[in-house]
Amino acid sequence: MESWANSGLGRDLHLELTASGRTRSSGVRAHLISALRESIRSGRLVAGTTLPPSRTLALDLGVARNTVAEAYSELVAEGWLTARQGSGTRVADRVGEAPRRTRTPAATVARPTLSLMPGSPDVAEFPRAAWMTSARRALTAAPNDAFGPGDPRGRTELRNALAEYLSRARGVRTDPDRIVVSASSGHGLWLLARAVQGPMAVEGYGLHLHRELLGDAGVATVPLQLDTRGAQPPDATGQRLSACLLTPAHQFPTGGPLHPDRRTAFVEWARTTGGIVIEDDYDGEFRYDRQPVGALQGLAPDRVVYLGTVSKSLSPAIRVGWMVLPERLIDDVLAVKGVYERWVSATDQLTLADFIERGAFDRHVRRMRTLYRRRRDTLVETLAARAPHVHVTGIAAGLHAVLELPTGTEAATLERAASLGLAVEGLRTFRHPDGPANRPDGLVVGYSTPSSARFSATLDALCRALPTG
């Protein structure tokens, strides 16, 4: 006989009958009626809920069908249930009943309607049609093992595609066996922190979420000084550090590439101390007024870990990132990650592999590079016309700019922006708590975040929030 769970006639209904009720036929109906009443009274069964047919509920509970039918009839007579031909049996909408159980919404917080928050692409520009094409192609060609327990290194198809792309586009020196797929660059950093342990040096101004992530992994962070040439390497004879975390292609958030002399110095620090350099190449595809800056990893593949992700180039909803590792770290990172892939969808990996291999990723990046350059130019032109006293920096590459403000005005500017419904970050948000406050007041403006339709209104709110000259 078909059980209700397989019949498609309604939802499962969990009811508990006491053992004594089941053993005496005269008590089964009473216990069933009591259980249904209590479920309705408590709000677990709300008005309008369709109950399973008597036959299927009887099968699920292991009782006689007549017992369920009689219980339903009695509850209909009492007004707890309603029964109509063709509509089944439902919980009645009873006048004076206890308030229906509803999902309690989270406390309402005024949300900004405009955003210049850094760290996100324009999600309205996600290449849906091209991504769907790759998804269909990938699923059609996927081997059966793609739907089983995954290899923690990541799908071979994606690692092959990444090895070719990263070598060609970013100057990374690797082969597929040295790539480990992660859910994001942050996930990759967490895996590395667990694998190498020990304190890490980070840029004095950097992504606070990374500092928090390292702290959660039990890794202390030490701030590195920043100047016009980028981060200053630590003293090789000083505090022993396991790694230095850098954003050498486009320092976040201040902007600008790491000077070539500093690149060489960090590699020398790693070779002298036995530490590693972790390169977060979070938006390396986007440059406008300068030649491409290749990956630091290309200088020393045995000492530099390269972290990448599609969260800026495609979408943060595509949870795929990657690590290019020195060979000596692969086993340690995989030991932390686990025996099977628990983090990254195999179908997303296969789709991304196809997306890269057929050139769709390159075409999307080129299109977005043009769009973001146009936005950056509009931002600079608008500020020059409406707030010429505000200096804009860090605009040769990337997806954000830094607006330098008069001393002591950052907090008030953020308050005005919030009152105008504009979300934007202050530069001080990114300062390491143990680092010197040696940067001017400022805003970190993510000009990639608004949709094209809202960009003009967003810039207007920004200009209204800025202090007057």
Look at 99-113, 276-290, 393-407, 439-453 and tell me which has the smallest mean pLDDT: 99-113
Mean pLDDT of 232-257: 91
Residue 17 has pLDDT above 90, yes or no: no
Tell how strand 422-423 and strand 114-115 pair up: parallel
177-201 pLDDT per residue, tens: 999 999 999 999 999 999 998 899 9
Residue 172 has pLDDT above 80, yes or no: yes
**Size of the chain in residues:** 469
For residue 107, the number of C-alpha atoms closer than 13 Å in the C-beta half-sphere is 1
Confidence of residue 1 (pLDDT cuts 50, 70, 90): very low
Are the C-beta atoms of residues 42 and 84 closer than 8 Å to each other?
A: no
137-159 pLDDT per residue, tens: 999 999 999 999 889 999 999 99
Mean pLDDT of 366-382: 95
| C-alpha to C-alpha distance for 445 and 373, rounded to whole angstroms | 14
Q: Where in the chain is the domain with CATH 1.10.10.10?
A: 4-91
Are the C-beta atoms of residues 51 and 76 closer than 8 Å to each other?
A: no
* Predicted pLDDT of residue 296: 94
- How far the first Cα of the chain sits from its last, in Å, is 81
Between 15 and 368, the more confident residue is: 368
- CA dihedral for 348, 397, 234, 429, sign (positive or negative): negative
DSSP letter, residue 110: P
| C-alpha to C-alpha distance for 425 and 115, rounded to whole angstroms | 10
| C-alpha to C-alpha distance for 426 and 416, rounded to whole angstroms | 12
* Portion of the chain with pLDDT greater than 90, in percent: 63
Q: Where in the chain is the domain with CATH 3.90.1150.10?
A: 114-119+363-465
For domain 114-119+363-465, give the fold: Aspartate Aminotransferase, domain 1 (3.90.1150)
Confidence of residue 266 (pLDDT cuts 50, 70, 90): very high
Mean pLDDT of 274-282: 94
Mean pLDDT of 343-369: 95
What's the whole-model pTM score?
Answer: 0.77
- Residue 393 identity (one-letter amino acid): T
| C-alpha to C-alpha distance for 454 and 466, rounded to whole angstroms | 19
Are the C-beta atoms of residues 406 and 468 closer than 8 Å to each other?
A: no
Given CATH 2.40.420.20, say whether it is the number of domain 127-360: no
* Predicted pLDDT of residue 239: 85
Mean pLDDT of 63-67: 87
222 DSSP β-pair partners:
201
CATH number of 4-91: 1.10.10.10
* Portion of the chain with pLDDT greater than 70, in percent: 91
Q: Where in the chain is the domain with CATH 3.40.640.10?
A: 127-360
118-144 pLDDT per residue, tens: 988 999 999 999 999 999 999 999 999
User: C-alpha distances in angstroms, 437 versus 226, 420, 432?
Assistant: 11, 28, 9
* Predicted pLDDT of residue 8: 37
* Predicted pLDDT of residue 355: 97
415-436 pLDDT per residue, tens: 999 999 999 999 999 999 988 7
* Predicted pLDDT of residue 108: 43
Give the angle 78-80-81 at the CA atoms, nearest 5°: 105
| C-alpha to C-alpha distance for 214 and 321, rounded to whole angstroms | 18
* Predicted pLDDT of residue 104: 46
SS3 of residue 49 by DSSP: coil
Are the C-beta atoms of residues 439 and 404 closer than 8 Å to each other?
A: no
Between 264 and 85, the more confident residue is: 264
Tell how strand 304-309 and strand 179-182 pair up: unpaired
- CA dihedral for 333, 336, 339, 345, sign (positive or negative): negative
The whole-chain average pLDDT of the chain stands at: 88
Residue 315 has pLDDT above 90, yes or no: yes
